[in-house]
Amino acid sequence: MLQPVGKLLLFGATGDLAQRMLLPSLFALHADGLLPKGLTITGTARSDHDDSGFRAFARHSLEEFLPDDLKDDSVVESFLQRLDYQPLDASTLEGFDALKQKLGDISNGMAIFLSTAPWLFGPTIQGLQSAGLAGENVRIGLEKPLGRDLDSSREINDLVAAAFPEDRTFRIDHYLGKETVQNILALRFGNSLFEPVWNAQGIDHVQITVSETVGLEGRAGFYNDTGALRDMVQNHMLQLVALIAMEPPARFDGTAIRDEKVKVLRSLRKIEGADTAQLTVTGQYGGGAVKGQIVRDYATDLEKPSNTETFVAIKAHVDNWRWHGVPFYLRTGKRLAERRSEIVVQFKPVPHSIFAERGGSLKPNTLVIRLQPEEYVRLLVMAKQPGLDREGVRLREVPLNLSLENEFAGTRRRIAYERLLLDLIEGDPTLFVRRDEVEAQWEWVDGIRKGWETQDTKPKPYASGSWGPSASVALTERDGVTWNE
């Protein structure tokens, strides 16, 4: 692991991500005394601020996005003293020398958080190099999107690798910073209960759902060029598949965990050509009602016709011994019935029911790992209903709940970027995505997209406020499986 750094450089420091996530996360770390003493935070963007202007901007962001229980004027003031600012047009080399002068001595190391349009990656890296801001004591964190297909991703990775070797490159997937996602590892590898049945002998299928109730929400241009498959499946959802399906790593460190994840991603069965019609479903939201509010269709929101998918469902397989024959059902979409991110692990039924002759009906055990909006782990098990059983045995499915909010009520819930920013500053790569992972994800997703193109697949309409096209129900129902709703 690398050493903690003395400076943090934030590109895109006046953008939406910085306002909503980065500045509040850094403040929370400062308030808890977790940032290195003396760490300075330099923001840069095209906006024409000076230091005091950026501090005023940051203060306003904290007032708007910090929870009330974290607001403390004296702590806010001490945090703002860490901040300074240098305006920069990253598309040219001209301003990088001034940025270097603003940063001053970086001999104690620097971490860069780069959140910018993909076309600016090359000029930004070149500018950092030209100004001597890419030395051995500098590391870089890269916010997605990292390309739109395998070729463009490799191009970006090559540009970054020219200045920053892999051990100093931290690719960010904010889902990996979520507490419940990390609990997948604790659940699997910290309990003897699950691992013996965590395979094709014990598990019937796995479902992963990431559903949103919002539409474009100011991201029209980006989203229409991206679509649900690139926006959610290629990164967040495939990372969840990897964590659920990976073999036990030898130790809890960045190399061992990422070695096992990439094995899963390379074992994903290719979905190409005519197979896409049988194993995938695409959709685009129409008009409807979400949470009682009438909403418009995608084309009206976009203000032009489009074939971009706002929904995708996939039946995937991991072709290895552990998961032979176990389907992984993935679905994600916008303007769906509710906001939810969850993993559902459906175990196989018991081989023989001793209760059938007495009228007892059994259901297979189900493990639900909810990532948002609530955070919990719920195991559904069978129990006998109280009674004398004169008319037969009555069995009922009951939940064993682990609510993180209740069980750890005295511990403040942290947003994902707090952990990821602190790990970037301290140099811990465990929760960041390695290049071979990213490229394995793109290779699989590109096969699906190419299949859609060759088959001339158009997204099916679905009503806003529903769970997507009816074809997504058929995708699972023909296997005797129902989506967890």
Annotated binding site: 46, 144, 174, 178, 212, 231, 334
Tell me which DSSP letter residue 149 carries.
Answer: S
Measured CA to CA, the distance from residue 157 to residue 178 in angstroms comes to: 25
Residue 352 catalytic? no
Half-sphere exposure of 374 (CA within 13 A, CB side): 13
**Sequence-ordered list of residues with C-beta below 8 angstroms from that of 271, at least 6 positions apart, any chain:** 279, 280, 314, 316, 444, 447, 448, 451
**The pairing of beta strand 110-114 with beta strand 340-347:** unpaired
Q: Which residue ranges make up the annotated binding site for substrate? A: 174, 178, 212, 231, 334
Give residue 324's identity as a one-letter amino acid code. H
Name the burial class of residue 468, with classes exposed (0-12), middle (13-18) and buried (19+) by CB atoms within 10 angstroms of its CB: buried
Strand order of the β-sheet with 138-143 is 83-87, 40-45, 7-11, 110-114, 138-143, 169-172
Q: Which residue shows structure tokens 């811990």?
A: 428
**Phi and psi angles of residue 35, each rounded to the nearest 5 degrees, phi first:** -75, 145
Q: Return the C-alpha torsion angle 270, 272, 275, 281, nearest 10.
A: 90
Kindly compute the dihedral angle of the four CA atoms of residues 10, 11, 16, 19, in this order, to the nearest 10 degrees.
20
Q: Each residue of 178-189: b (16+ CB within 10 Å) or e?
A: bbbbbbbbebbe
Please identify which of the residues 236, 317, 324, 352 carries the catalytic annotation: 236
- Residues with catalytic roles: 236
